[in-house]
């Protein structure tokens, strides 16, 4: 799910950082409702947080409450995002969560950044021209499932067989 929204509020508690995100409109209600009480990867203007979607509030707009881990860098980054009037908000479907997990594992074993590995795996040749890859999992199309199979193949091969 991709849309625009804004951060209404956030605070720092002992165990987590509750973040209230408001999305303009209510067309995403059913999709967000599926993710309630699940830990999902949420992107706020490119800043990814793995957080629990705790509750939904449906009114003129849709807002949802995230419980993000209490880490210093998350609190500082959210502080910078609170003032923005409009943010790009994306919630990863299960497929993208799995790709992010595999991508992190393979990138760590190969000692390369995850975005470079994704770019390498999603680039391909089409006829005489090359099609550049994607640097973000959120930009993958439905055909991006091929990336999942490539990552699984690399994990089966082991880190020594690929440069």
Q: What is the pLDDT of residues 9-56, one digit of tens each?
A: 889 889 999 999 998 877 788 888 888 888 888 889 888 888 999 999
Domain end among 92, 108, 131: 92
Q: In Å, what is the CA distance from 16 to each residue of 20, 75, 82, 99, 110?
A: 13, 10, 17, 25, 32
**Coil, helix or strand for 134?**
coil
Whether residue 83 is predicted with pLDDT greater than 80 in this model: the reply is yes
Whether residue 142 is predicted with pLDDT greater than 70 in this model: the reply is no
The pLDDT confidence band at residue 135, using thresholds 50, 70 and 90, is confident
> What CATH number has the domain bearing residue 36?
2.40.30.20
Rounded mean pLDDT, 123-152: 73
Predicted local confidence at residue 106, as pLDDT: 83
Q: In Å, what is the CA distance from 15 to each residue of 12, 69, 126, 152?
A: 8, 7, 50, 34
Task: Give 62-116 as a DSSP string.
Answer: EEEEEEEE--HHHHHHHHHHHT-S-EEEEE--HHHHHHHHHHHHHHHHHTS-HHH
Mean pLDDT of the residues in the chain: 82
Predicted local confidence at residue 148, as pLDDT: 67
Which residues have a Cβ under 8 Å from the Cβ of 124 and sit 6 or more positions away? 130, 131, 133
Structural domain containing residue 100: 95-157
Query: Who has greater pLDDT, 138 or 59?
Result: 59
Whether residue 163 is predicted with pLDDT greater than 50 in this model: the reply is no
Domain end among 50, 74, 92: 92
d(CA 122, CA 75): 32
> 88 with 106, same domain?
no
d(CA 91, CA 107): 22
> 68 with 56, same domain?
yes
pTM: 0.65
d(CA 41, CA 103): 14
- Here the tokens at position 9 are 């509020």
The total domain count for the chain is: 2
Judge contact between 116 and 96, C-beta under 8 A. Answer: no
């Amino acid at each position: 799910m991709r849309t625009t929204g804004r951060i209404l509020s956030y605070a720092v508690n002992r165990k987590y950082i509750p973040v209230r995100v408001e999305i303009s409109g209510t067309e995403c209600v059913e999709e967000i409702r599926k993710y309630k009480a699940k830990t999902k990867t949420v992107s706020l203007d490119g800043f990814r947080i793995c957080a629990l979607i705790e509750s939904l509030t449906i009114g003129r707009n849709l807002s949802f409450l995230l419980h993000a881990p209490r880490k210093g860098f998350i609190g500082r980054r959210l502080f910078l995002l609170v003032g923005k009037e409009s943010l790009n908000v994306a919630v990863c479907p299960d497929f993208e969560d799995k790709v992010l997990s595999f991508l992190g594992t393979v990138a760590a074993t190969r000692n390369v950044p995850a975005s470079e590995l994704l770019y390498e795996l999603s680039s391909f040749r089409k006829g005489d021209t090359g099609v550049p890859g994607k640097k973000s999992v959120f930009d993958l199309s439905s055909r991006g499932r091929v990336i999942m199979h490539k990552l699984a193949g690399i994990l089966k091969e082991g880190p020594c067989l690929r440069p």
